[in-house]
Amino acid sequence: EIVMMQSPATLSVSPGERATLSCRASQSVSSNLAWYQQKPGQAPRLLIYGASTRATGIPVRFSGSGSGTEFTLTISSLQSEDFAVYYCQQYDVWPPRWTFGQGTKVEIK
Amino acid sequence: EVQLVESGGGLVQPGGSLRLSCAASGFTFSSFEMTWVRQAPGKGLEWVSYISSSGRTRYYADSVEGRFTISRDNAKNSLSLQMNSLRAEDTAVYYCARVTRGTLDYWGQGTLVPVSS
């Protein structure tokens, strides 16, 4: 099983500041990496797929980078609605044994 | 507008069974793979099961293999998850999600399944 590790567990950021979230895979997943945002009481929402492609309707302040085992999600200027938990997910393996990171909570500083 | 609406959750005793459903609308259901993902209270996301667009191919996480069965009815735009021999550790919110090239691009709102005596 590919283990996904996210850091930090919690990130305290002021509105308007940049947030950088990391995700590391236990083995290469190429660019088969997605990021999701989850707010309390809501379902996750797809933000980024293919490591760097924004999903439909996702603001340009969200960007993804990386390949292989190291990935980054950057939120360039945090808005109030961006405070949430973010998960990475690998989808490199077949048959599907898709795995998620444990999440990074972005909270207001 | 793509919509996925889960139903069927509720309190069940250990060893019991439950069937979850997911009603899909706003897209050509028969053209898309589907999946179930769960989230235990206060925890992260865990992939549970996958089904191909035709329904012929199915996969399960090791934690539910042999106890859960995924199925779909393309004529009714419906996805199901039959859960048997439920355990306390199966307690979670269960989400159905549409799959596009391995990513889960649309999710339902989830249905809670508490397993407790």
Question: Which residues touch A27 (CB under 8 Å, ≥6 apart)?
Answer: A2, A69
Mean pLDDT, chain A, whole residue set: 96
* Res B97: pLDDT: 98
Q: Which helix (H) or strand (E) holds B86?
A: none
Considering only CB atoms, B105 lies closest to which of A32, A55, A103, namely: A55
Q: Which helix (H) or strand (E) holds A70?
A: strand A70-75
N- to C-terminal Cα separation, chain B: 40
Give yes or no for residue A96 having a pLDDT over 90.
no
Give yes or no for residue A86 having a pLDDT over 90.
yes
Residue B111 dihedral angles phi and psi, to the nearest 5°: -135, 135
Instruction: Provide the 10 A C-beta neighbour count for residue B14.
Output: 14
Tell me what the mean pLDDT of segment A74-92 comes to: 96
Give yes or no for residue A97 having a pLDDT over 90.
no
The angle formed by the CA atoms of residues A88, A94 and A96, to the nearest 5 degrees, is 55
Question: Are the C-beta atoms of residues B21 and B76 closer than 8 Å to each other?
Answer: no
Give yes or no for residue A95 having a pLDDT over 90.
no
- How does pLDDT run along chain B (117 residues), one tens digit per residue? 999 999 999 999 999 999 999 999 999 999 999 999 999 999 999 999 999 999 999 999 999 999 999 999 999 999 999 999 999 999 999 999 999 999 999 999 999 999 999
Give yes or no for residue A7 having a pLDDT over 90.
yes
How close B27 comes to chain A (CA, Å)?
A: 15
CB proximity A96 to B under 8 Å: yes
Q: Do B103 and A91 touch (CB under 8 A)?
A: yes
